[in-house]
Chain A
Amino acid sequence: MCSTDIHERRPVLEHVEVMANDRLAQGVGLLVMRAPRIAASVEPGQFVHLRISMGTDSILRRPFSVHRVVGDTIEVLYQVLGRGTRDLAGKRRGDAMDAIGPLGHGWKVEPGVAHALLVAGGLGAAPLGMLAEDLAGRGVAVSVALGAPTAERLVARALFERVARRVELATDDGSAGEAGFVTSVSARLLERDLPDIVCVCGPEIMARRVAEQAADAGVRCLVSLERLMACGVGACLSCVVTTKSGRLRACVDGPVFDAEEVVWDGSEVPPRH
């Protein structure tokens, strides 16, 4: 499988130091960590598996996409949901953690691509931020469809507006962009910008809809999927995604998959209530 690729950069276990941890919006934070080895090799769409707590009460690591790389630091955009992310929000400058990374296969956008459409729902903006910067740096035209519940929660908006040709917004309450789902924005941009590729990250119901739109338009679509993860390195088979070639591991064979390959069978992380 993919993990035998000898050119691949292998993950490391790295002690990381918190450089900053700022609240960006209600329940959303930006964590900056000094992680020279991971920063040197991470690619857009890859993630780190963070050991937030050293106790034995909550035992598993938590996976987070790398949002940006700045020098020898990596940035993680996180939403506070449960115990792990609550503890993460409490980290202060100077705190130490350990991270395994870079993990997984990210978005591989071939050199021939001239125009890419990025579709981000909520914290799906996290990995797409790094992709947008990378593509723009390579001279690829980038359009972004960005959705969130409220204007305040469009947390990566400034980054996208800095590097993309076009950023169009949707919020549930209409406080920025159009009121409604980001999928109506993506439908419009697919038609207007005629991208060569669509890259998606967000709630699975939204990702699936975008994948259908791209398929209808005959455009290749690469989707990043979330699964519950224990090991993060391919050993436990917690995180499988059903594909046309069987059940593959999101942590090493993904998290980015060709949407054509994905069998949407409801095996995503259950929604919260």
Chain B
Amino acid sequence: MDPKSPRATDASSQVDLTVDMAGLKLRNPVMTASGTFASGREYADFLDLSRLGAVVTKGVSLEPWAGNASPRIAETASGMLNSIGLQNPGVEAFVARDLAWLAGHDVPVIVNVSGHTVKEYAAVVERLDAEPSVAGMEINISCPNVDAGGMAFGTDCTAAAEVTRAARAVTGKPLIIKLSPNVTDIADIARAVEAAGADAVSLINTVLGMSIDARSRRPRLARTVGGLSGPAIKPVALRMVWQVASAIELPVIGMGGVRTAEDAVEFMLAGATAVAVGTASFVDPTATIRVIDGLESFCQETGVAHVSDLTGALVL
């Protein structure tokens, strides 16, 4: 079916794709992964945004961030590394330009938030809380904590809880904490942010990695290390989603290498309420729509009436 046309109501289709996630009612459980879809405008040429469960935007910070030096990406086996460095124009420009555009597109908007300090995170969340078109916020705690020597907030239970509490104090909107996989025990971090007032968690962010050009003896990324994404990380992501979903009561948004409807089903079986498609959109700009249509067919074929029945239905 043409990914650009709105889905016709199909009388024979009895599958209920809607999901409730942290107080948000989503058309279907498929969202975009932050940083891989900008604010949707670039992909509106290829698909109808209103078909998506939600658009999760690129990370937004208080002030503009210039990002890292180039090269910023490297293709690796079944995946890619990136060190974009959260380049963004700052929250005011985002609200004026991107959010204003997205607001007219009949799709829940979840804004991904970056910060270097707890105060910065809270300031962005407070600013976005004032915007009616923001359905929810996703806090990227993989950012370096400037006050703690650059170690990511998300690698420490205390720092992760502190960011969560500060964000919770300034918004009543759904608050999703995005977890980093680069930790010893991701379930510990999940429990810490749950106790600090999060409404949901999303995982996984990219896996820290490195690529070297043997001939020049140089790292392929200007920043030497970067985040791995794509099909290569799916087994790691599934394991972590399963661990976290078993450890906390909050809904989980699963991501990491989702490319097909079956990938999405696997994440839901592992305990995810919703999923996000990231790197796959670079390869196929209509990947999100393929996953949505494929989920519906999967449910029809396998006799699943509500897609949410898949959540946590792993047979052990």
Residues on A with beta carbons closer than 8 Å to the beta carbon of B37: 235
Q: Which of A5-13, A139-147, A214-222 contacts B (4 or more CB under 8 A)?
A: A5-13
Find residues 98-127 in chain A having any chain B CB closer than 8 Å to their own CB. Answer: 100
Q: How far is the CB of A108 from chain B (nearest CB, A)?
A: 21
Q: How many A-B residue pairs have CB under 8 A?
A: 105
B84 touches A237 (CB 8 A): yes
Find residues 1-33 in chain A having any chain B CB closer than 8 Å to their own CB. Answer: 3, 10-13
**How far apart sit A64 and B286, CA to CA, in the bound complex (Å)?**
21
Does A61 sit at the interface, judged by CB under 8 A?
yes
Q: Known: A240-B67, A273-B213. Is A235-B38 also a contact (CB below 8 A)?
A: yes
Q: Known: A58-B75, A267-B71. Is A236-B82 also a contact (CB below 8 A)?
A: yes
A230 touches B45 (CB 8 A): no
**How far apart sit A227 and B84, CA to CA, in the bound complex (Å)?**
13
Q: How far is the CB of B285 from chain A (nearest CB, A)?
A: 6
B216 touches A230 (CB 8 A): no
Q: Known: A59-B230, A235-B37, A273-B215. Is A246-B71 also a contact (CB below 8 A)?
A: no
Which of B80, B220, B259 is the most central at the interface, judged by chain A CB atoms within 10 Å of its CB? B80
**How far apart sit A246 and B93, CA to CA, in the bound complex (Å)?**
14
| In-complex Cβ contact of A59 among B70, B84, B283 (8 A) | B283
Does A234 sit at the interface, judged by CB under 8 A?
yes
What are 29 contact pairs spanning A and B, CB under 8 A? A11-B45, A12-B45, A13-B46, A56-B231, A59-B80, A59-B231, A61-B282, A230-B82, A230-B282, A231-B281, A233-B43, A234-B42, A235-B36, A235-B281, A236-B35, A236-B36, A236-B73, A237-B58, A237-B67, A237-B87, A238-B82, A240-B70, A252-B42, A265-B69, A269-B71, A270-B71, A270-B220, A272-B215, A273-B215
Closest to B82 in A: A238
**How far apart sit A154 and B222, CA to CA, in the bound complex (Å)?**
33
**How far apart sit A58 and B279, CA to CA, in the bound complex (Å)?**
12
Residues on A with beta carbons closer than 8 Å to the beta carbon of B79: 59
Closest to A229 in B: B73
B78 touches A59 (CB 8 A): yes
Q: How far is the CB of A35 from chain B (nearest CB, A)?
A: 16
Does B191 sit at the interface, judged by CB under 8 A?
no
**How far apart sit A238 and B282, CA to CA, in the bound complex (Å)?**
11
Does B218 sit at the interface, judged by CB under 8 A?
yes
Closest to A251 in B: B42
Does B131 sit at the interface, judged by CB under 8 A?
no
Q: How far is the CB of A238 from chain B (nearest CB, A)?
A: 4
Which of A59, A247, A252, A267 is the most central at the interface, judged by chain B CB atoms within 10 Å of its CB? A59
Interface string of B144-164 (1 = CB under 8 A from A): 000000000000000000000
Does B165 sit at the interface, judged by CB under 8 A?
no
| In-complex Cβ contact of B84 among A238, A246, A252 (8 A) | A238
Closest to B71 in A: A228
Find residues 140-184 in chain B having any chain A CB closer than 8 Å to their own CB. Answer: none
Starting from the known contacts A12-B46, A230-B82, 17 additional A-B residue pairs (CB-CB under 8 Å) come to: A10-B45, A56-B259, A57-B77, A59-B283, A228-B70, A230-B282, A235-B42, A235-B281, A235-B282, A236-B73, A237-B87, A238-B72, A238-B73, A247-B87, A269-B71, A272-B215, A273-B215
Find residues 220-273 in chain A having any chain B CB closer than 8 Å to their own CB. Answer: 227-228, 230-238, 240, 246-247, 252, 265, 267-270, 272-273
**How far apart sit A87 and B46, CA to CA, in the bound complex (Å)?**
26
Closest to A100 in B: B285
B72 touches A235 (CB 8 A): no
Q: How far is the CB of B136 from chain A (nearest CB, A)?
A: 21
Q: How far is the CB of A253 from chain B (nearest CB, A)?
A: 12
5 residue pairs, one from A and one from B, having the closest CB atoms? A267-B70, A273-B215, A235-B38, A235-B42, A234-B42
